[in-house]
């Protein structure tokens, strides 16, 4: 099923500016379209690929972190629209009134991450995180502001810091058409739920490419043992970067003959792309500690074969859902007491972040389907049978 559009993007901006429609009405659109049909593709653990030493949570997803919700809007229209929106909510309440500690780390800053400076300065997140394509971040930020202003309890709010990140899907998607409209953002937010997360060529990953193959949305988690308070780390990625595909140490990209710094098929750029990594944890951490956690996600990115090239926007957004460290907007007391995890206890969380990020990226590749889009261009899904064979040969999957 495809999404039809009868208005162009500038018309939608005019509606947004006049507030002619309530935000709920923007969400009342046609049903979510399905990505291009393909046989069911496996996740990493379904083919015997276990990355690292820590166990995953029950869903092996960012939603294993209590309270985290994910919503997505996939836009497939005609021959040229292959894009979408993914929204991540740290909790189900009013995020402006109950902010969460947060941090942002930049691996390579060729990107447009709206809202980063206030997060850096204040160490809090006060809106959902929205992922989309490069030229839609600005419309998404405007819509996100309107959504937050419309919430009960925010009637006197005069400043909102929307956090919106992107990758460039312009190879498969007619990005200049800017097909993401306010209703798509609101739909993604309104549909956010706990539970399993759709992966691959969906949401903000509909038109993305990764390591020479079709990329997309991927997720994974790790849970620490009872002796470490059973804290959970969950990661969600929007993968759209180049490099040399490496799977649990196996040189899959080289073996498949498709990798960075080797001449690739026609129209394939030699560098560029981006990766947005969202890291959630229920451990009670400060913004300073979350920044340290975020840096370890870049280790997981590197493990999959990314050199973080000149044209890549590689960002990590991390937050804690622990109620003990939430930051209320309105307070009467000048002092706030918090229970925090000591720095000496962070290392297992660092390992969890590194492992979950690597696996989330591999899941984004494995679950992605072959997509044909803008100007008839096609990006193939990584061949699962060949990947399994190579991984077994190099000991990345045990026979």
Query: What is the set of active-site residues?
Result: 274, 312, 314
CA distances from 15 to 137, 169, 181, 182 (A): 17, 26, 10, 9
How far apart CA 135 and CA 285 sit, in angstroms, is 33
Token duo for residue 182? 């306010």
How far apart CA 172 and CA 179 sit, in angstroms, is 13
Phi, psi for 306 (deg, rounded to 5): -85, 130
Nearest-CA neighbor of 362 among 37, 35, 50, 38?
50
How far apart CA 126 and CA 41 sit, in angstroms, is 36
Dihedral over Cα of 276, 304, 360, 177: its sign: positive
Nearest-CA neighbor of 115 among 84, 140, 150?
140
Nearest-CA neighbor of 232 among 170, 322, 316, 147?
322
Round to the nearest angstrom and report the end-to-end CA distance of the chain. Answer: 40
Token duo for residue 141? 């930020």
Which residue do the tokens 């959970």 mark? 232
How many CB atoms lie under 10 A from the CB of residue 329? Answer: 15
How far apart CA 126 and CA 124 sit, in angstroms, is 6
How far apart CA 235 and CA 165 sit, in angstroms, is 15
Dihedral over Cα of 386, 391, 397, 399: its sign: positive
CA distances from 91 to 96, 99, 139, 195, 323 (A): 11, 10, 23, 13, 10
């Amino acid at each position: 099923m495809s999404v039809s559009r009868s208005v162009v993007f500038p018309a939608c901006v005019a509606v947004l500016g006049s507030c002619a429609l309530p935000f709920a009405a923007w969400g009342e659109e046609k049903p979510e379209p399905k990505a291009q049909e393909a046989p069911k593709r496996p996740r990493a653990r379904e083919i015997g690929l276990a990355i690292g030493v820590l166990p995953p949570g029950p869903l092996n997803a960012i939603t294993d972190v209590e309270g985290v919700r994910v919503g997505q809007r996939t836009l497939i229209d005609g021959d040229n629209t292959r894009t979408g929106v993914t929204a991540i909510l740290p909790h189900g309440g009013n995020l402006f009134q109950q902010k969460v500690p947060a941090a942002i780390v930049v691996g390579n800053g060729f990107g447009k991450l709206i809202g980063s400076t206030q997060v850096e300065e204040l160490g809090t997140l006060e809106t959902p995180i929205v992922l989309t394509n490069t030229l839609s971040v600005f419309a998404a930020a405007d819509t996100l502001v309107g959504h937050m202003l419309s919430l009960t309890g925010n009637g006197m709010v005069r400043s909102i810091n929307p956090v919106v990140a992107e990758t460039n899907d312009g190879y498969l998607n007619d990005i200049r058409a800017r097909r993401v409209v306010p209703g798509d953002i609101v739909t993604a937010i309104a549909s956010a739920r706990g539970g399993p997360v759709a992966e691959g060529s969906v949401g903000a990953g509909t038109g993305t490419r990764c390591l020479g193959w079709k990329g997309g949305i991927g997720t994974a988690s790790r849970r620490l043992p009872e002796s470490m308070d059973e804290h959970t780390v969950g990661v969600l990625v929007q993968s759209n970067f180049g490099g040399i595909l490496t799977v649990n140490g196996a040189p899959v990209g080289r073996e498949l003959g498709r990798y960075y710094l080797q001449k690739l098929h026609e129209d394939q750029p030699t560098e560029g792309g981006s990766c947005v990594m969202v890291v959630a944890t229920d451990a009670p951490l400060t913004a300073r500690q979350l920044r340290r956690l975020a840096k370890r996600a870049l280790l997981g990115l590197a493990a999959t074969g990314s050199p973080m090239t000149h044209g890549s926007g590689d960002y990590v957004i991390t937050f804690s859902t622990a109620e003990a460290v939430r930051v209320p907007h309105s307070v009467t007391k000048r002092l706030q007491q918090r229970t925090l995890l000591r720095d000496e206890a962070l290392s297992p969380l660092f390992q969890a972040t590194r492992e979950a990020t690597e696996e989330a990226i591999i899941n984004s590749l494995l679950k992605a389907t072959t997509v044909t889009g803008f100007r008839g261009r096609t990006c193939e899904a990584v061949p699962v049978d060949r990947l399994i064979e190579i991984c077994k040969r190099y000991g990345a999957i045990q026979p």
